[in-house]
Structure 1
Amino acid sequence: MAGRKIDVGAGRDALAAVSSGAAARPQLATAVRYLLQLLDEKAPGNSVEVRVPPFGAVQVVQGPRHTRGTPPNVVEMDAPTWIAVATGAQQWADAIAAGRIVASGTRADISALLPLRP
């Protein structure tokens, strides 16, 4: 993940604010980016792009490297969905069934990597 690393304390504080319902937009952004950072640490690689617009994106999972155009394996969702599946508050399959996650490509199912343990 590009950019500076989010401190564990700051990431946990942002997640706590989100879970309490008192998160301002900057805290929501920090929580999303922190969870993307944890995913990148858990499954480094370049074969799947996980997008949570407008807050961030990360390429993860070992496999064929993607360098130009739209990646062949893309997962995209909104911030509340990402936080829910990344923390285990919602199951991947339920979010897919509800149409809250758009996943395309043979490697786009990242459910085995979730939930993350901050």
Structure 2
Amino acid sequence: MAKRRISHEDGMAAVAAVRATGVEGAARPVLATAVRYLLEELAELAPGNTVELRVPPFGATQCVAGPRHTRGTPPNVIETDAATWFALATGGLSWDEAVAQARLAASGARADIAPLLPILR
């Protein structure tokens, strides 16, 4: 399991601040902290190296148990923007809605993380 870099208190404070202002109104460092914290929460909830979730430019994490990749692009990749990731992780958007609206790109047989969402319930 990856070492946590953002404390629970700091992460939840950032999440609360982004909820209060909305993603567009949040200060960039606060949004970055919230996104990274939610990525860390996902990695803790579903440890592993089978899926890589990317939220450029703020961060990425590997999660979900299964076959581990060691070189190059992993076989299961999800990429999305900060607003979509925040909404998915906090329950403001479902996985199916995000896919239908083309708000994320997911490739690979294990790239569907819908059962893990929302992270904050």
TM-score, normalization by structure 2: 0.92
The structural deviation recorded for 1:2 is: 5.6
Q: CA RMSD in A?
A: 1.4
The range that moved more, 59-68 or 3-12, is 3-12
Deviating beyond 6 angstroms after TM superposition, the runs of 4 or more aligned structure 1 residues are none
Within 5 A, what are the aligned runs for 1:57-96?
Answer: 57-96=60-99
Task: Name the residue aligned to 1:45.
Answer: 48
**Equivalent-residue separation in structure 2 for 1:114 and 1:95 (angstroms):** 12
Sequence identity percentage: 63
What secondary structure, in the 3-state scheme, does the structure 2 residue paired with 1:50 have? Answer: strand
Matched residue type, 1:109: D
- Of 22-31 and 48-57, deviating more is 22-31
Listed as ranges, the gaps of 5+ residues in structure 2 are none
8 Å Cα contact 1:14/1:23 also seen in 2: no
**How many angstroms apart in 2 are the aligned matches of 1:39 and 1:4?**
11
Structure 1 unmatched runs, 5+: none
Letter in 2 for 1:115: P
| 1:100 is aligned to 2:103 | yes
Number of aligned residue pairs: give it: 118
Corresponding residue number in structure 1 for 2:28: 25
Q: CA deviation at 1:17?
A: 1.2
